[in-house]
């Protein structure tokens, strides 16, 4: 089962005076997909880093299953994947995926078996011996997700994971995220600049505005089954139009009310 994530009154000010987040509160239900959208610089990555325990709020709290994010011995493992796959070019795909287990001291035979299993789950069963340079962009991203999942985290954080990919590959990988979530049951927090992706994947969508970074709107689309029928539906199109408008307002706020 995935973990519940909660942020209460979270602010993050940096030493140079910039305020990346100001009073952000959010709740993510266990096993759900939360999406963060908002203009560049509104604090999306900063918020993900705090959920991962890689950074701490200057005010407020971030908890994962009730424990402080990143606390020693905290109950829920959190994994993060970024826009660039960041695979080691000299290691085969399976050895890239096995790397987190290697760092945890898991024995060779077991870690390779688990990495193979995870590659199967992301549709790369036949590519385990290839080097990253021999994979397509979409395949590299699948491998990066397999590597994030190999330790069986209860929370998967994805920061703009498919931004560099073409639209069709992106649709396929959006469905992959849902399939993996159904199989492994983890909680997902996804940052995206794509409104289509946000509307498709989000059980809860948080629209953020910058300077200072904050949540200006929370949307729960309530879509049940995802798939081609949803992508072609009127409620989906309306949600996209609605989100676009909210983002436009957030952008206008970021340029001090001036037209961008
Ligand atoms: N280490 C840091 N020191 C100073 N300011 C920082 C630091 N990290 C982030 N910031 C500032 O905090 C704000 C939010 O940054 P963040 O990277 O979280 O934005 P983002 O929403 O992820 O943007 P993007 O969509 O471009 O990735 C920005 O104004 C940024 O300049
Ligand atoms: Mg970012």
Q: Which atom of ligand 1 is nearest to the CA of 46?
A: 18
Q: Ligand 1 pocket: which of 20, 47, 209 to mutate (most atoms <8 Å of CB)?
A: 20
**Shortest-distance ligand to the CA of residue 41:** 1
CA 108 – ligand 2 centroid, Å: 35
Class of domain 29-77+153-260 (CATH, top level): alpha beta
Average predicted confidence (pLDDT) for the chain:
92
Ligand 1 contacts (CB < 6 A) are: 14, 16, 18, 20, 40-46, 213
> Sorting pLDDT into bands at 50, 70 and 90, what band is 69?
confident
Query: Which pair of structure tokens corresponds to residue 163?
Result: 């931004």
Q: Which atom of ligand 1 is nearest to the CA of 47?
A: 18
Q: How far is the CA of 49 from the centre of ligand 2 (A)?
A: 10
- The residue whose C-alpha atom lies closest to atom 11 belonging to ligand 1 is 20
Residue-wise pLDDT tens digits, 102-112: 999 999 999 99
- Structure confidence by residue, pLDDT tens digits, 128-163: 999 999 999 999 999 999 999 999 999 999 999 998
Whole-number Å distance, alpha carbon 222 to ligand 2 midpoint, is: 26
Q: List the residue whose alpha carbon is closest to atom 2 of ligand 1.
A: 14
Q: What is the pLDDT of residues 29-42, one digit of tens each?
A: 999 999 999 999 99
């Amino acid at each position: 089962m995935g973990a519940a994530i909660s942020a209460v009154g979270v602010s993050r000010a940096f030493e140079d005076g910039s305020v990346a987040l100001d009073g952000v509160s959010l709740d993510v239900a266990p096993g759900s997909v939360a999406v963060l959208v908002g203009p560049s610089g509104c604090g999306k990555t900063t918020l993900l880093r705090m959920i991962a325990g890689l950074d701490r709020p200057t005010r407020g709290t971030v908890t994962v299953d009730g424990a402080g994010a990143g606390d020693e011995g905290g109950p829920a493992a959190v994994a993060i994947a970024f826009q660039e796959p960041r695979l080691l070019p000299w290691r085969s795909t399976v050895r890239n995926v096995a790397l987190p287990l290697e760092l945890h001291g898991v024995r060779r035979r077991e870690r390779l078996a688990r990495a193979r299993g995870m590659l199967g789950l992301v549709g790369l069963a036949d590519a385990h011996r290839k080097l990253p340079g021999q994979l397509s962009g979409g395949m590299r991203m699948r491998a990066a997700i397999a590597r994030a999942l190999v330790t069986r985290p209860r929370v998967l954080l994805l920061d703009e994971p498919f931004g560099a990919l073409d639209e069709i590959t992106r649709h396929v990988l959006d469905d992959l995220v849902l399939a993996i979530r159904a199989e492994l049951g983890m909680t997902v927090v996804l940052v995206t600049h794509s409104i289509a992706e946000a509307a498709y994947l989000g059980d809860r969508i948080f629209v953020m505005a910058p300077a200072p970074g904050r949540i200006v709107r929370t949307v729960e689309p309530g879509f049940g089954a995802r798939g081609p029928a949803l992508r072609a539906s009127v409620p989906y199109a309306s949600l996209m139009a609605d989100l676009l408008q909210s983002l436009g307002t957030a952008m206008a706020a970021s340029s001090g009310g001036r037209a961008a």
